Structures are given as C-alpha cells and as structure tokens.
Amino acid sequence: MRSPWPLKPTLVLATFGVMITLPQYIPQWYNWRIYEWAAAPAVFDFQPRNHSSNPVQDEAERLRPDTVPVRQLDSRIAGATGAMDAFYAALLLTERQQPGAITRIIHFGDSPTTADLITADVRSFLQQNFGDAGHGIYLIAKPWAWYAHRGVDVSSDGWTAYPATLHGEKDGRYGLGGVSFTGQTGAYSKFKLRQPGHSSLILSYFGEPGAGTLTVDAGDVHIADVETSQPQPGAAETSLLIPSEAQEITVRVTHGPVRLFSVQFRKPAPGVIYDSIGLNGTWAGVLATYVNEAHWAEQLRLAKPNLVVVNYGTNESGYRDYIESSYPKDVREIIRRVRNAVPEASILIMSPMDRGAREAGGAIGTVPALPQLVSLQAKLAAENGCAFFNTFQAMGGPGTMGKWYMAEPRLVNADFIHPLPSGARIVGTLLYQALLDGYNAYKLRQFRQNIADARSTSETRKP
C-alpha cells in the first residue's frame, strides 16, 4: 500500500524540523537558530488582549519607555573591597599624566562586542576624560560581515579566517583576538583610521619555519618588510613606527604562506586603551577549552592589561542544562587562566544584557534561564575574588528588551538580543558610570588613608 505522504516532501520537512531544532540544544550552533520553540504556544493563543482604561498613556509609555534607568545599587560594581584596585591605581597614574602611564582594558565578549557595541562608547568616554593612548587591537580582516570598530575600518582580500569558536586551528593558537588568518602571496588588508595621531603599529603573527614575508606601508610611504619565518614555531609580534598623520595602513603578503592575528594602533601619550575582543556566537567554554592556555597567557602578558572584562552569557542563556552543569567550571577556568597569566590585573565579570523572548499572549519577556545565569555569575565572581557588574539589572531587569523593541525609535533588533547603537550607548554609559563611581570611591579611600598615615607619623614623631 502506497504511503499517503510523498517521500521527498516528507524528507524535506523532516530535515527542516531537525535543522530548526538542533540549535536549541547545541551551543556551537547558536548562530544558526532560526526559530524559538518556546514561542510556539503564542501561535495558538487566541485570547483577547486586555483593554486599558487609559490607552493614550499606555501608548505614550510604549513609545517612550524609561530607557535611561535610574542609577541605583544594581548599577554599581560589586565585589570585595580591592577587587578593582589594580585598575583604579593604573587609572590614577593615567589621570595624573605620568609619563608612560597607559591604562589598558581588555573586554572579552560575544556578538555585540564583535561589532564594538557598548565597548566603543566606554572607550570614547574613558579616552575623553583620561587621554587617548590609541585604538588597540583590530583583527587582520573581517571574519564576519558585521565585524566593526568605531574609528577603524578594513578592506581586505585573500585571507582565510579560523575563529576559535569553530575550533579551526588544531593548535589552539588564535592570538589575543580569537581569530587566526592565513594568506598566500597577494593577500592584503588596508586599514583606515578615522583620526590621525597614531605613532606605532604592532603586528601580531605566528612564525614558523618556511613562513612567508609581507610589507607594511602607510599611504605611499614604505614602513617595513616583515619576515615571519623563524626556527621554532610560536607567536611573535613586530612593533613599527608609522607617521602620526597616517590614516591608511596596508599590510600585503609578498611571499606566502603567512599566518596573522591582529594589528594594534598606539599613540605616544599617556591614556587609555580599550580592546574590544568579541567572537560571534561564543560562550565561556571557548576561552576555557578551545584556546591553547600557554599561547593565550603569553598574549595576555604581552598586552599588560590592568583590567580584564569577561562579558559572556547571552548565548549560554538559551541552554539551561549547560548553565547547571559545565558553565560554572568554564568560568572558573577562565578566571584561573587570567590570574595565572596576569596576576596583577583586576578581573570584572560582566553579566549579559536582558534577552527577550515572546511569551504566550504575545508579550516580550525575558528568557527564563537568564536571571539564573546572572545570579550564578555574581556568585562565581564573589567566590573567586572578582568584581561583578550586573548589566541585566542596571539596564532595567526583566522585560527591558521588550520595552526597547516597542520604543520608537527602537533600541534593539527584532531578535530581542542585539542592541541598536542607541541602546548600546545606554549600556555603555551605565558601565562607564559604574567604573567612574568605583574609581572615585577608590580615590576617596586613598585620600583618607593618606590622612590617617600622616596623623600616625605625626603622633610617632612627638616627644
């Protein structure tokens, strides 16, 4: 008896069902998620909506929600006293414009960080107030179309990108930026700096026997030829002086193959460098297991950060089983790795933003596992002596992305995850204000300690 279901359409439907279901359970496939099964009941929800007694006021609140949350305890950086002191001490020297006083922040994050959202605003605020020591790290090419940094852009050709999230390099070496690029003769990258004033460029690459050469040019000025071949395989970097007026830098492979990681742009004056290191679709397990520990530690030590921000959780929030099983172990491993590499640096665990999801009835609520994850992050930070910033509560708590999506103009994309630039600026402002509040409290503690020390010395000298 012939089946009432034609074979090919049945196989197509079954395949489609598997494709939209598997990303719900495999973190590595997060970026291929095209449907939230949790929203399915809303399709069959035919209940009439409640009618407000004051629809005009409701519509006004929808169009203009409270998008600048009131700063309160949840907007501050939590943690044991002293958890951020290494960062604040460096920032104090930078504020005093001590020669060579560069305060460096390395911000590891997921897809919003990939686009320099939030981080661009914090960088701008800090550099306006404490000085601009340069843009910092920028990948050799765009591994994703939406990779972007404010103030720098790149056009390139001939590179093959291997992000750490895809475990592309079996040796686990991806530089500090998390992506390794290979190119043959003719591959190039042309970097455009929006503002002049950078005086040096640091090229980060992987050297090995038989590796190729490349040239670096600033506009029409030839800067250097760089030989990436070396007797023993390993990461290396070359620092090159560039004209301060240069706004176009070209790196071109003259003889392949070469394996590059990133460039850094530096300025000569004291100031702040804020590195935005985002990996698309990443989760805590990438830094904890996919990246070669010794290599990553070397990269961190070369960067000499005063503050390391670990800002993951959005992707993890869709996988409750992972949160309850492997996630705590992965976060502890990241903290251990950072501490072993740069024990002098402060560590700030930064929670994810709110993540919206359609609920029965059509309202946009918060993914159920996200508050649990944020609470777990706070606990892990406290247990390991790290500072903690509760982004989720600071921006307004549960349902915030729903308000942002319904606002006009909107502050978040239709996925209720990725903020638009105006929304990112709100979060960036909250983080900057939290850093500044903590810094001012540190200076006040230092002042009081100096007064107490002076009094103690005076009492000791009395006859």
Given 268, 303, 338, the domain boundary residue is: 268
* Predicted pLDDT at 360: 86
Q: Name the pLDDT band for 20 (thresholds 50, 70, 90).
A: low
Given 268, 293, 309, the domain boundary residue is: 268
Please check whether residues 256 and 313 belong to one and the same domain: no
Please check whether residues 229 and 308 belong to one and the same domain: no
Please check whether residues 170 and 262 belong to one and the same domain: yes
* Predicted pLDDT at 11: 72
Q: Name the pLDDT band for 71 (thresholds 50, 70, 90).
A: low
Judge whether 22 lies within some domain: no
* Predicted pLDDT at 75: 80
* Predicted pLDDT at 339: 98
Pull the structure tokens for residue 265: 């742009």
The answer to whether 402 touches 415, Cβ cutoff 8 Å, is: no
For residue 233, give the nearest of 300, 291, 167, 173 by alpha carbon. 173
Number of domains in the chain: 2
pLDDT at 13 over 60: yes
pLDDT at 86 over 70: yes
pLDDT at 190 over 60: yes
**Helix 370-383 × helix 327-341 angle, to 10°:** 40
- Work out the number of other CB atoms within 10 angstroms of the CB of residue 68: 11
d(CA 80, CA 103): 22
- Average pLDDT value for residue range 168-193: 97
Judge whether 141 lies within some domain: yes
Please check whether residues 176 and 209 belong to one and the same domain: yes
Judge whether 28 lies within some domain: no
pLDDT in tens, 413-458: 999 999 999 999 999 999 999 999 999 999 999 988 888 777 777 6
CATH number of residue 258's parent domain: 2.60.120.1360
pLDDT at 398 over 90: yes
Pull the structure tokens for residue 448: 């009081």
The answer to whether 104 touches 303, Cβ cutoff 8 Å, is: yes
Please check whether residues 431 and 381 belong to one and the same domain: yes
Domain residues for the domain of 298 are 55-133+270-452
- Average pLDDT value for residue range 352-363: 92
Given 242, 268, 294, the domain boundary residue is: 268
